[in-house]
Amino acid sequence: MGPRGRPRGPFFMLSTAAHPSRLQSLFLSLRPAQWTKNLIIFGGLLFGGLELRQRGGSMPSAAVLVAAAFGIFCLLSSAIYLINDIRDREGDRRHPLKALRPIASGALPVRTAGITAFAIVALLLPAAFMLDAEFGVVAAVYVVLLTLYSTSLKHFVILDVMTIAGGFVLRAVAGAVVIDVPISAWLLIDTMLLALFLAFSKRRHELVALAGDATHHRAILQEYSPYLLDQMISVVTAATVVGYAFYTVSPDTVSKFGTDKLVLTLPFPLYGIFRYLYLVHQREGGGSPSEMLLNDWPLLTCVALWAGAVVVIIYGPW
């Protein structure tokens, strides 16, 4: 992170390049750095792979299906970003960083962005149904929900962040249904809580970073205050940690995986959440969770170690 919380890294540097071509501008508007949010789709394979293997399913085939689902959601989320940037282009022009976005800056014509968004949805939704009917339904609900967010729901206090969290839950569900494995209610709850934590932290960053200009950029910010957001963040932080702890020690989890050692992974989400709070409060971060993950090595290492520990505990020769 930069001294004022501005992200550093290849995606940020590319976005500030002088006079990008229209193709470069379109690629930037797809926000590839945000595709990391869709990695949650692999959660179904991570936590459901053992059951899949026990009933004779092929792990490599399942991995291919999940990878395809990941790719579909990456492009569908990019279509939503295009719609969002078209709708927000006037407000983005008053933002110190978002004014550099291709649509807001005029580098990418609105018509080109709109046609691209329509084409992505028109091509990828049928592909989602071809991959798996239930997965296609989840993908369609995701597109409708996030389109509603971009066009209207973002203007309703609290409902705005809950809609964002719902998008993360749908990603987690998509990763499970595409390979036909159940997903724990605890994991869905924790996904919702963690997404709320990130969304509230982002709102707080916008309020603090933009100060008096915050409501000119995003009108809904006038309904929030740093104190209110800190209270909400505290609630979802505690709930996220407690929810994950309950999941690791619940009888259903122990029975499903044949081990009670998942509780040993608890230090990783604890550190990750505390590290994120540190970046938000001490480094003025939180504006883009994806860029924070990509650019903060302690946070990225924590996530990688957590995933590795889960794999070893669940699939190790115990």
pLDDT for residue 8 is more than 60? no
The secondary structure of the chain, three-state, reads CCCCCCCCCHHHHHHCCCCCCHHHHHHHHCCHHHHHHHHHHHHHHHHHHHHHHHCCCCHHHHHHHHHHHHHHHHHHHHHHHHHHHHHCHHHHCCCCCHHHCHHHHCCCCHHHHHHHHHHHHHHHHHHHHHHCHHHHHHHHHHHHHHHHHHHCHHHCCCHHHHHHHHHHHHHHHHHHHCCCCCCCHHHHHHHHHHHHHHHHHHHHHHHHHHHHHHHHHCHHHHHCCHHHHHHHHHHHHHHHHHHHHHHHHCHHHHHHHCCCHHHHHCHHHHHHHHHHHHHHHHCCCCCCHHHHHHHCHHHHHHHHHHHHHHHHHHHCCC
pLDDT for residue 246 is more than 70? yes
What integer is the mean pLDDT of 47-66?
88
What integer is the mean pLDDT of 267-272?
96
Domain end point (choices 167, 183, 199): 183
pLDDT for residue 311 is more than 90? yes
Confidence band, pLDDT 50/70/90 cuts, at residue 13: very low
pLDDT for residue 17 is more than 70? no
Domain end point (choices 183, 200, 228): 183
- Contact between residue 70 and residue 41 where contact means Cβ atoms under 8 Å apart: yes
pLDDT on residue 18: 52
Domain end point (choices 150, 183, 216): 183
Which of 228 and 13 is assigned the larger pLDDT? 228
Confidence band, pLDDT 50/70/90 cuts, at residue 304: very high
Are residue 61 and residue 124 in the same domain, yes or no? yes
pLDDT on residue 221: 85
pLDDT on residue 288: 79
Are residue 135 and residue 171 in the same domain, yes or no? yes
In a domain, 10, yes or no: no
CA–CA separation, 17 and 14 (whole Å): 5
Q: 67: domain CATH number?
A: 1.10.357.140
pLDDT above 90 as % of the chain: 68
Are residue 112 and residue 47 in the same domain, yes or no? yes
pLDDT on residue 72: 98
In a domain, 95, yes or no: yes
Question: Smallest Cα–Cα separation from 318: which of 257, 234, 247?
Answer: 257
Are residue 109 and residue 209 in the same domain, yes or no? no
pLDDT on residue 210: 72
pLDDT on residue 9: 44
The residue whose two tokens read 């957001």 is 229
pLDDT on residue 214: 58
* Count: domains in the chain: 2
Least confident among 15-24, 50-59, 138-147, 308-317: 15-24
CA–CA separation, 197 and 248 (whole Å): 20
Are residue 96 and residue 141 in the same domain, yes or no? yes
In a domain, 11, yes or no: no
pLDDT for residue 216 is more than 90? no
pLDDT for residue 15 is more than 80? no
Are residue 55 and residue 167 in the same domain, yes or no? yes
In a domain, 12, yes or no: no
Q: At what angle do helices 133-151 and 159-177 cross, to 10 degrees?
A: 160
- pLDDT digits over 145-202, tens only? 999 999 999 999 999 999 999 999 999 999 999 999 988 898 899 999 999 999 999 8
What integer is the mean pLDDT of 240-244?
95
pLDDT on residue 50: 85
Are residue 104 and residue 234 in the same domain, yes or no? no
In a domain, 13, yes or no: no
In a domain, 3, yes or no: no
Are residue 227 and residue 305 in the same domain, yes or no? yes
In a domain, 4, yes or no: no
Are residue 212 and residue 244 in the same domain, yes or no? yes
- pLDDT digits over 90-127, tens only? 888 877 778 889 999 999 999 999 999 999 999 999 99
Are residue 197 and residue 231 in the same domain, yes or no? yes
In a domain, 2, yes or no: no
Are residue 193 and residue 278 in the same domain, yes or no? yes
* Structural domain for 203, as ranges: 185-318
- pLDDT digits over 256-265, tens only? 999 999 999 9
pLDDT for residue 68 is more than 80? yes
C-beta atoms surrounding 106 within 10 Å: 11
Q: At what angle do helices 267-282 and 297-315 cross, to 10 degrees?
A: 170
CA–CA separation, 89 and 311 (whole Å): 43
pLDDT on residue 6: 43
Are residue 255 and residue 178 in the same domain, yes or no? no
